[in-house]
Structures are given as C-alpha cells and as structure tokens.
Amino acid sequence: MLNRIGRVFASAALLASCCLGNAQADDKVINFGIMSTESSQNLKSIWQPFLDDLSKKTGLTVKATFASDYAGLIQGMRFNKVDVAWLGNKAAMEAVDRSGGEIFAQTAAANGAPGYWSLIIARKDSPINSVADMLKHAKELTFGNGDPNSTSGYLVPGYYVFAQNHVDAATAFKRTLNSSHEVNALSVAKGQLDVATFNTESWDRLAVTQPDKVALLKVIWKSPVIPADPMVWRASLPDDEKTKIREFFASYGDTDAEKAVLKNMQMGKFLKSSNDQLLTIRQLELFKQKTEITASTTLDASEKTSRLNEIDAGLAKLQERLSELEKQGNAKAG
C-alpha cells in the first residue's frame, strides 16, 4: 500500500509542477484545490460563486485549481502550490502526513446526514445483486476501483469488501481499472464495467446532472457511514489568512443567497473540524494493513509478529485518543 502511494506521489510531482506551478504569486493569493469528481466545467460553475464570496469577504484573491486526481492536490500542497483544498478523508490523511496539511472544517450534507456512504454499483439488469455474487463471479467481471487516495472509492471498500474477505481487488477480477467516481458510474451505466465503487454524494449529484444514467444503476453494497469531506489548508499559511478563512467557513450559509450557493453545491453549512476527524480513517487503514500482513505468505513469522505488534500499538494509540474525545463530549453534554 505505502509503496503504491509512493509511486503515485512520485508520478504526481510532474503533474503538480505543471498544473499548479505558476499559480502562487504572493501570500495574498489563495490557491483553492478541487478534485475533479466530474467535469471541471461543471465543477467550476458550482464552486465559482462560493469562491467569489470567499474572495469578497476575506479580501484575498482566490484562484480555483482543478486536479484530475488527489495526488496532484496533495503534492501541490506539499510544494506550497495549493493553499486550501476540498479533499476526501483518505486524501486528507495523506495531505496531513506528507504535505503539511491541517483540517480546519468539514462539509455537511444538505439533508443533515452525518456523512456519506461508499457504494458498489452494478447495472440494474445485471445478475450481480450482492458482494457474495460479485466475489463468486469476479473472474468473469470487469471492476472499476477508485482513485487510490479516495476514501469512499478505494479505502473503505478496500477494507470492508476486500480485506475482510481476504480478496485482492487488483487481481481478483478479469480486469480492474482505477478511475474517478463519475467515470466509474457512467462506465457501469454504459456496460463498459460490470461493477464499480461509487458513493452517495456522487450518486445524488449524478441524479441531478444525468438522471437517465442513474436510472440504469443499482446498489449492491453500502458501507458504514463515512465522516463528511474535510477542508484542508497548509498549516504554514499566515495566521491572519487562516483567521479570515476560518471565520468565512464558520459563518457561510447564514443568508438566503449563501444558502442558495450551498444548495447548488449539495452541501449544508460547514462544521468546525480538526485532524481528529481522521481517527476512524486511520483505524481503517491500519486494520487493512493488519489483514494483509496476517494473510501474507511471503513474510516470515518474526517479521509478521514485528509488524503486527507495531500496528496494534498504533491502533491502541488511536483508540486512546477516541476514548479521550468521547469523554470530552460526554462532559460537555453533562
């Protein structure tokens, strides 16, 4: 897993340099990174009113940067070419660990949902109706996996569907491809993929932009709830800029005009957040690694024991922090 991420980061360096290289002119320019979960043209029309409001209220010049994969945004933040980014939890974890990122806010669903859900989808006319069906016939199927830095498209199904069933998604199917949420869904609808990862947020968005395609899809698996997407900034941003940005996100959505912008983005008001949002995602990542190491036939017993002990220590530390936060929450509620 880590080697794969390393290779992705290395290949993304040129992308980040080319796509983002000339964006940052001075400290007053905020380069806002957005993952292209659908066409950049669609996303620009959705996000531009919000970014215009951010610029107007903070006095900062805000420039949108659209990237075709999370690695480009993460690498851009690492080299100070992306200042603020809308990321999934898995990508945010990489940004925090590798690129000096810090979570400061969290998106909220327009319907008040506590987060969103990862999905595996198939065409409605497909005989595949469950994970059991999919795994049983995997060698006959073409599978659309998500971006390796995607929480809902890769990490969550990778653990709950594949790791827990001792299956390697890269080799189990007749063919496995990695792509964006929208491309995966449209490919299933067109019959180019048999099954693919997706998520409820992207499903709702596709129902607006291409309802005829959504009508061709069905859900064969739904994950436990995933915390809503975090907003990440460079921890090295000047404090005065952080204050302006934080205050904007905290208050945005109070007016009817702002509510209309958020509605078009399919979001509710932003919530305050921190790097603690990633605790459950980190647990998922470690559980996945533990499952892979336990099932490994190439590691000797001593190496397995050493790695598993290290993972167990990491899991214990995460659980300790989660318990601490739960106590704090109970104390406030009392």
pLDDT tens sequence across 192-220: 999 999 999 999 999 999 999 999 999 99
Comparing C-alpha atoms, which of 217, 121, 202, 204 is closest to residue 161?
Answer: 121
Same domain, 83 and 28: yes
Tell me: pLDDT of 6 over 80. no
pLDDT number for residue 266:
87
Same domain, 232 and 104: yes
Global pTM reads 0.74
pLDDT number for residue 136:
98
Tell me: pLDDT of 117 over 50. yes
What CATH number does residue 70 fall under? 3.40.190.10
Same domain, 103 and 237: yes
In which element (H, E) is residue 171 found? helix 169-172
Please answer whether residues 169 and 162 qualify as being in contact, where contact means their C-beta atoms are separated by less than 8 angstroms.
yes
Same domain, 221 and 200: yes
The residue segments making up the domain with residue 299 are 280-333
Cβ atoms < 10 Å from Cβ of 47: 20
**What is the number of structural domains in the chain?**
3
Tokens 């996945």, residue located: 288
What is the per-residue DSSP string for 242-296?
A: HHHHHHHHHHTT-SHHHHHHHHHTTB---EE--GGGGHHHHHHHHHHHHHHHHH-
Share of the chain above pLDDT 90, in %: 72
Tell me: pLDDT of 240 over 90. yes
Query: What are the tens digits of pLDDT across the range 130-157?
Result: 999 999 999 999 999 999 889 999 999 9
Boundary of a domain, candidates 207, 226, 245 = 226
Comparing C-alpha atoms, which of 157, 155, 147 is closest to residue 178?
Answer: 147
Please answer whether residues 271 and 106 qualify as being in contact, where contact means their C-beta atoms are separated by less than 8 angstroms.
yes
Distance CA 190, CA 319 (A): 43
Same domain, 62 and 164: no
Same domain, 79 and 222: no
CA-based end-to-end distance of the chain: 42
Beta bridge partners of 142: 175
Tell me: pLDDT of 20 over 60. no
Of the two residues 87 and 15, the one the predictor is more confident about is: 87
pLDDT number for residue 248:
98
Distance CA 272, CA 107 (A): 9
Query: What are the tens digits of pLDDT across the range 57-107?
Result: 999 999 999 898 899 999 999 999 999 999 999 999 999 999 999 999 999
Query: What are the tens digits of pLDDT across the range 268-298?
Result: 999 999 999 999 899 989 988 988 898 889 9
pLDDT number for residue 167:
92
- When mean pLDDT is compared across 13-22, 103-112, 218-227, the lowest value belongs to 13-22
Same domain, 329 and 189: no
Same domain, 270 and 321: no
Same domain, 130 and 210: yes
pLDDT number for residue 27:
52
Same domain, 105 and 39: yes
Same domain, 96 and 27: yes
Same domain, 102 and 235: yes
